[in-house]
């Protein structure tokens, strides 16, 4: 009697099933990784936009209040300027320095959820530069 060579049909089907399951897990991992990469890119864009908005709020343009707008690309922004404390200056002519809390929030929709980046800072401005 000769020894059989090759695989039976059942062995081939089991091998294909194992390979299909392994490929399914691999594709799901790749898809999940690409989604995380996309979300990280969106956070990076939002952070860059928030930094730019915060830098635009220089001491010369500080006006207490809230402003908001559309930044394009699905990103919305809101800036808040609020006085914290004031102190007189000892110069000639006398003036007043005010410390402001400045904040910028950039938000967007991703994967059915609202996401946002929030940056805050403090700025000092003289009374002459805030009244125009």
% pLDDT > 70, the chain: 89
Phi, then psi, of 31 in degrees rounded to 5: -60, -45
pLDDT the model gives residue 6: 72
Q: What is the pLDDT of residue 105?
A: 97
The pLDDT of residue 88 is above 60: yes
- Predicted confidence at residue 116, as pLDDT, reads 96
Residue 50 and residue 105 in contact, taking contact as beta carbons nearer than 8 Å: yes
131 has pLDDT over 70: no
CA distance 82 to 123: 10
Least confident of 50-54, 61-65, 69-73: 61-65
Which of the four pLDDT bands, split at 50, 70 and 90, describes residue 128? low
DSSP assignment of 79-132, as one string? EEEEEEEEEE--SSS--EEEEEEEEEEEEEEETTEEEEEEEEEEEEEEHHHH--
Q: Tell me, what's the pLDDT at 126?
A: 79
User: What is the pLDDT confidence band of residue 47, given thresholds at 50, 70 and 90?
Assistant: very high
Predicted local distance difference test score (pLDDT) of residue 127:
63
Mean pLDDT value across residues 95-116 = 92
pLDDT of amino acid 4: 67
């Amino acid at each position: 009697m000769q020894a059989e060579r090759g695989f039976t049909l059942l062995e081939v089907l089991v091998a294909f099933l194992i390979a299909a399951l392994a490929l399914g897990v691999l594709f799901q991992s790749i898809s999940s990784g690409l989604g995380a990469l996309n979300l990280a890119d969106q956070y990076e864009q939002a952070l860059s936009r928030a930094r730019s908005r915060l830098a635009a709020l220089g001491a010369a343009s500080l006006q207490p209040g809230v402003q908001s707008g559309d930044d394009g690309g699905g990103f919305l922004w809101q800036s808040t300027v609020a006085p914290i404390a004031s102190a007189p200056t000892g110069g000639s002519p006398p003036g007043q320095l005010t410390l402001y809390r400045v904040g910028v929030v950039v938000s967007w929709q991703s994967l059915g959820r609202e996401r946002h980046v929030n940056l805050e800072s403090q700025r000092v401005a003289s009374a002459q530069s805030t009244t125009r």
